[in-house]
Each structure stands twice: as structure tokens, then as C-alpha cells.
Structure 1
Amino acid sequence: MHSSFPSFRWLYYNTHSGKYHQRTAKKACFRPLFFSHMAPLSAAVHFSLFANQQKNAIIAYKKKEGGGTMAVTIQQVAEACGVSRGTVDRALHNKKGVRPEVAAQIQEAARQMGYISPRVRPAIDDRTVRIGVVLHSAASPFMQILADIFRTHPTEVMLPVETIVRVQENREPKLQLALIDELVESLHVDGLVLAPLASERIRERIDSLTERGIPVVTVNTDIEDSSRLAYVGPDSIASGRAAAALMGLALGGQGMVLPITDQQFGHYADSQRLSGFTAEMAENFPGIHLLPPVSCYLDSELIERTVLRELENNPMLNGIYPSTAVRTGAFRAVQRAGVAGKVHVVVHDLTPDNLDMIRAGVVDFAIGQEVQVQGTLPLRLLYQYLTRRQAPEKRILTTNIEIKFRYNTEIIPSGPD
């Protein structure tokens, strides 16, 4: 084996005996049923189905090397797939001479391993890296803060990165795709930071960009089965569970809560927060009744009217949980109804409006998600990858949960959130 090729250890599984046998491969003389490429992951092995109709499964895993992760080579893809370099080259560049089903398997293997063709995107040296940023929900105070960090951070820390930030007003996937196309096709960005909307077309676009050699880091929300380089942001299900625990504490385990979402589709974080919230309530707070969630569609006045109506129709209502980014209407409704302090409110994000409402006694708890980390780490990850081909050791980088209430609103450990 060529000296520069990373050492592989093959795990041979006999389906008849049910036992595994290890041996070091001198060369890839067999086609694996499963393969796993551990770089840049440092722990769990992920398997990708490569073929079937075989008696014995062969699992290959690459041992993680110290000092970062090297770029995957075409030789490594060939070794993992048990084919020649020429076959891999033809498959990856849509040349003739490879059966379509084999080409599809090789392309999927290369995608899983993180291979990027040097013909498409060589490493960038000695120039400013251009990174596009696409966010949504322009009316959200959190997204406004996040966008500002993306714009200013490179200059503040002298990072040789130029950021081009686009923030769409709504959560329409077609508009997000158009903004991505503008940054990639017209402005020729080297990499992309994306707060993805819940759409199969968005996932496909992430995969397409990765295949073209344009790395994508998802931020704030994730599409886990996409080929993005990494995700930086909260565990939204855990955040929803934290909100439920705080609400349960505020209500003493008894009461009625109104959940409010932005809309029933389009944004993973909303549905994940609500999922975590309802699960935690069901498991640990059986004395709290949840009303059916209402959708506000990013309309603050609609939230206000809805909350006022629910307060009038449900005298036992003593908790409001806006998982939505647009919650000022709920605050106004609580104040207009004169129930501040009687109806408990738990919200997400350590934004100025939320902190002001805590001080005013309208909001009990606000849950943060380290906006400063979300606005800076994706740029550093892309810069390291584009200039050094150094992939992150972890693909999922979860931000911490921060909790603010009336006694600690002046302490913001990671910048405004």
C-alpha cells in the first residue's frame, strides 16, 4: 500500500458464525458490503449501505489520525469501494464506461467520505475567503443579532473572510433557494452558512453544493441527513424540554398552558421545540393540561388577538409558551389583560425585548442558545476547511442552553442572544 495512504483495519463479519474477525488490509481486493469513513468524526461509526446479496459483510473503518483530518483522496474512495481509481474518476465526473448503478454507489460513497474533486475546488491560499450567509425570519430579533455578528466578526478579529449576508423576510423555501443561487452563481462565494428551512429541495441543494466543492455549514437549525460540513446550533428538542421544565416549575405542576408556534411547517426549530415541550410535559407534569397549539404565521397582531381570546375563553389558563421568534403580541396581550405575574410565560432567546419583559414581570424565563457562538464558529470552520482542507472533528456542534430570569438578566455570558 502506498505510504501516504491511511491505514485501514477491516472488520470481517461472518453471517453464519455471527463473529467478527479483524485484519489489516494490504490492498482492497474485495468489495465491501458496508463501509464507514470516520474522518472527521471522532466517535460513532456511521455505516452506509453499499451493496447487498452477499453472505459476508465487510466493514471498513478508517482510524482517525492526529492533528486534524486530511482531505479525502480519489485513491481512498477507490480503496473503500474496491474499484480502480479510473472507475472512480469516471463515476464522479459522469464519464462513460461505468454502469449507472455502480456509478451511483461510488458517488454516494464519495459523498459520505467527504471527497471533493480538486478539479472543482482547490484549496484557497493567500486571499480573502468569500463566505455567503443565508438566514430567514428578518423580523426575528434573534436573527437580526445573528446577522450583525456575521457581518462584523471577521473585521473584529482580523479573520481574512468577507461575508455576504442575505436575510429573507419570510420562510419560503423558493426564496431561500434563490438567495443561495445568487451567492453561488452570481457572487461566487467559496462557502455557505445556511439556516435551512424544512424542505427536501433545500436538502438537495446542500448535497449539490457539496458535490461541487462548495462546503455548507448549517446554523441554528439543521438538516441531519444532508451532506453539510457541520451544524452549529442548539438541540431544539432539548430546548423545548427545558422550557417545559421551567413552565412546570412556575406553575407548581398544575395548570393550563397555551403553546404558540410560527406555523405548522417551514422551520425545524419550531416543531422540534414543541415536540420537546409536549414530551416533557407528558412525562413529568401530568397535572398540566396543554391546549392545542396555535399558529401565528409570524404575525404579531394575530398572536395578540389569539392570546386575548384564549384568556377570555379559558379562565384556568395560567401559562403561555411562545416557541415562535415573534412573541411581542403575546406580551401585549398579557399586559392588556392585566394578568402579568398570574399567567406565566416562558420564551426562547436572550434578546433585548425578552430581557425587558423579564424585568417588567411579564416573562418568567428566557432560554438562550449562544448566539455569539452561532455567529462566529461557522465562519472559522469554513475558513479552516477552505484554506487547509481541515474538516471539523465533530459534525454536530451543539450550543449550550442558557436560562435567564429576573435575578440574572444583567449577566450575559456569551453576548446578547
Structure 2
Amino acid sequence: MATIIEIAKMAGVSIGTVDRVLHNRGYVKAETRTKVEKAMEQLNYEPNRVAQGLAVMKKKLRFLYMTPKTLHNPFFIPVRQSAEKKIQELKAYGVETDVYDYPERSIDEDKLIKKLTAEIGKYDGACILGKDSSINKLIADEARKRPFPIVFYNSKIEGIDSIAYVGCDYVSSGRLAAGLAAMTGGADSKVCFFSEFGSIRESADERIHGFLKEANIRYPDMKILGKWDITSDKAQNKRAVRQMLKKAPETNVVYVINPMDYSICRIIAAEDKENKIKIITNDLVPIQYDMFKDGIISATICQEPEKQGELPLELLFNYLAYGIQPSKVNYTELSIHIEQNI
């Protein structure tokens, strides 16, 4: 294996310069860094990970990881579990990670903002959900003051600089949903959308955009009859379903986009007295299994929640520890599930 002496000789720089490039410390001109990296590539240099690991441990990195409460969002249960597993792995490198829930009540949000305002300076980077939040504003403000890398997962916010995004290609997800609507309800399906829009509106809007784009191109006879909000109030959700059935009685496919706790699916099935509506959802959590068995859900589109939990932390660690620049966009893989393959 090549040595740093050989790299320095080929690049025409000092050994100290090679060391600074390898460990991403100190100032190195971009032109010089390129020469060193090119020499490393030509010599097939593989850094000593043990030595690097020891160097990383001395840095004592500290991360901030923000996650939604999972009571009304079961999709985030595997996301959080996967993140917590990665957090334990990173402890071997001396990395500490504080995990906080996005508060649902303003009083709790005020308390967390006060705490983070006092402690934000001790963090080296953050993984956050792309939602409209005062917590996110505080983190974004910190990133404007100093080098403070942010990785978005699941959704992102335009106008906030980040080193990477890990999550679903929501437009492609919507296109898949249009195809499933045609398969389950026919190319001339009569479709309605149900979704929790709120603070994560981006994912719903992009999925709808992808659905409409695909429908316009491939299924010109498909009709979109309307869209309704999902809330945490089940009585309100029932009224919305009844309103849909009254205004659009010909509906035979409902695409449930951001489903919250998925109870909307059972409400639709209960109100659909003729049993003619096919329901398409996103993601796959335990509560859906019985719905598949009961014939309530016809198909669902998954987006690798585990990857959304662990990869943001891995990218943040590699960036700060080894100077590895991540891909700006890291889409998760989309997969379709029906009763027979869950």
C-alpha cells in the first residue's frame, strides 16, 4: 500500500500537507488538495482506518438529532429505532448524540428553545426533519453564524443550507401511486386524495404533483375529484369522508398520502357501504397489516424508513470526521407492497 511519503512526492507537496488533507485539518489551497487527492487515487491509497478512528475519537464530536413524536406518526418509529442504533455505533468513535422530539405544544417548544439556545454552541452538527418549526429556525440561525453542517431527512426546507438530504423522491412516489390507482380502479378511475398537510406539506404536494403528471400522460380518462385534510380528530375525519362520498359518490380509489395513524383508512372502509373504494397508502407499519388482511388497503408504497434514520448520522459523521463530502441528494428506494408480500 502506498505511503504518505509517496503521495507527497507524487503531488509535489510536503508530508504535513498530505496529513492535513487526510485528516481535514488546517488550511489547504483547493488546487493543492486536488493534487494530493489525485495522487492518492493514482496510488490506490487506502487510509489507515484504525489510525483515523483514534484521531476521530480525540475530536469528541457531538450531534443534535431532532425527530417527530411517533404517537400520530407511526412511520417514524422505525426511523427513530434505526437512528438510535446508529447513535450507539458512533459512541465507539467518541461521538455523543442528543435526541429531542419536536414539541407538539407551544409551552414545550418554548422550553426546548430555551434549552437549545443555551446549549447549541456545544454541537458540531444536526440532523433535522424538514418541517416548519421554531426549533429548525434556531438551528438554521446557528448554521449562519459558524460552520455547522445540517442534514435533512424525510423532508427539507428551501432556503436553509444543508450538506445533504436523505429521503423519498416524492414525485416518483406519486407517479407510482397513479399507476397503482389505474391497476386497482381502472385507467378511468375516479380518485380522491386524503392527507395530513400541515407542517410536512412538501411531501404531500410533491406526491400529488407526481400523481397528476403521470395521470395526465398515461391515464387521460382518470379523474381527480378532490382532496381532503386528515387531522388528529377522528370525528372531523369521519365528517370529511362523508363529505367526500356526498360530493363525489363515484369515487372508487382513495390515495391516502400522509396518513398520520392510518385510522382514516378504517373510517373510509366503514363509510363505503358499497365496498367499491380501493385504498392506496404510503409506508408500511404494523397497524396496516390487519388492514391488508381485512381488505381495507389494496397497496402501499414504502420509502426505507430505516435508511432515513441511520444514513443522516452516518453522512454527518463522515463529513466531520473524515472530510467526506456527501451527495447532496440521497433518495431512498421505493417499493410496492400488497397483502401477498408483507
What's the TM-score once normalised by structure 2's chain length?
Answer: 0.74
Structure 1 pair 208/168, CA: closer, same or farther in 2 (3 Å)?
A: closer
Q: For 1:227, which of 137, 158, 161 is the aligned residue?
A: 161
CA drift of 1:156 comes to 5.8
Structure 1 pair 341/406, CA: closer, same or farther in 2 (3 Å)?
A: farther
CA drift of 1:145 comes to 2.5
For residues 268-323 of structure 1, the C-alpha deviation after alignment (integer angstroms, 9 at most, x for no partner) is 21221122122222222222211221122444442232113322443211111111
Which amino acid in 2 is paired with 1:395?
Answer: K
Partner of 1:407 in structure 2?
340
Percent of aligned positions with the same letter in both sequences?
24
Quote the Cα distance in structure 2 between the aligned partners of 1:137 and 1:289.
Answer: 36
The answer to whether the Cα contact below 8 Å between 1:299 and 1:326 also exists between their aligned partners in 2 is no
Partner of 1:93 in structure 2?
none
The answer to whether the Cα contact below 8 Å between 1:257 and 1:321 also exists between their aligned partners in 2 is yes
SS at match of 1:317: coil
SS at match of 1:281: helix
The answer to whether the Cα contact below 8 Å between 2:230 and 2:264 also exists between their aligned partners in 1 is no
The structure richer in helix per residue is 2
Instruction: Give RMSD over aligned pairs.
Output: 3.8
CA drift of 1:199 comes to 7.5
Quote the Cα distance in structure 2 between the aligned partners of 1:124 and 1:182.
Answer: 27
Quote the Cα distance in structure 2 between the aligned partners of 1:170 and 1:253.
Answer: 41
Q: For 1:237, which of 156, 168, 171 is the aligned residue?
A: 171
The answer to whether the Cα contact below 8 Å between 2:299 and 2:336 also exists between their aligned partners in 1 is yes
Quote the Cα distance in structure 2 between the aligned partners of 1:391 and 1:291.
Answer: 45
Alignment of 1:331 with 2:265, yes or no, is yes
CA drift of 1:406 comes to 1.2
Structure 1 pair 228/372, CA: closer, same or farther in 2 (3 Å)?
A: same
Partner of 2:16 in structure 1?
none
Q: For 2:308, which of 374, 383, 388 is the aligned residue?
A: 374
SS at match of 1:293: strand
RCO greater where, 1 or 2, for CA within 8 Å and sep 6 or more? 2
The answer to whether the Cα contact below 8 Å between 2:65 and 2:128 also exists between their aligned partners in 1 is yes
The answer to whether the Cα contact below 8 Å between 1:133 and 1:166 also exists between their aligned partners in 2 is yes
Quote the Cα distance in structure 2 between the aligned partners of 1:191 and 1:351.
Answer: 30
CA drift of 1:405 comes to 0.3
Partner of 1:144 in structure 2?
77
CA drift of 1:203 comes to 7.2
Q: For 1:133, which of 59, 65, 80 is the aligned residue?
A: 65
The answer to whether the Cα contact below 8 Å between 2:181 and 2:189 also exists between their aligned partners in 1 is no
Quote the Cα distance in structure 2 between the aligned partners of 1:312 and 1:257.
Answer: 14
Quote the Cα distance in structure 1 between the aligned partners of 2:294 and 2:89.
Answer: 34
Q: For 1:261, which of 195, 203, 213 is the aligned residue?
A: 195
Deviation larger for 124-133 or 198-207: 198-207
Alignment of 1:363 with 2:313, yes or no, is no
Instruction: Name stretches of at least 5 consecutive residues in structure 1 with no aligned partner.
Output: 8-66, 78-122, 410-417
Which amino acid in 2 is paired with 1:405?
Answer: I
What's the TM-score once normalised by structure 1's chain length?
Answer: 0.62
Partner of 1:209 in structure 2?
143
Matches within 5 A, 1:188-203: 188-198=122-132, 202=136
Deviation larger for 378-387 or 324-333: 324-333
SS at match of 2:131: coil
Structure 1 pair 186/227, CA: closer, same or farther in 2 (3 Å)?
A: same
The answer to whether the Cα contact below 8 Å between 2:63 and 2:96 also exists between their aligned partners in 1 is yes
CA drift of 1:76 comes to 4.3
Quote the Cα distance in structure 1 between the aligned partners of 2:144 and 2:315.
Answer: 15
Structure 1 pair 382/249, CA: closer, same or farther in 2 (3 Å)?
A: same
Quote the Cα distance in structure 2 between the aligned partners of 1:244 and 1:395.
Answer: 28
Quote the Cα distance in structure 1 between the aligned partners of 2:110 and 2:148.
Answer: 15
Q: Provide the aligned length of Structure 1 versus Structure 2.
A: 302
Q: For 2:330, which of 363, 377, 397 is the aligned residue?
A: 397
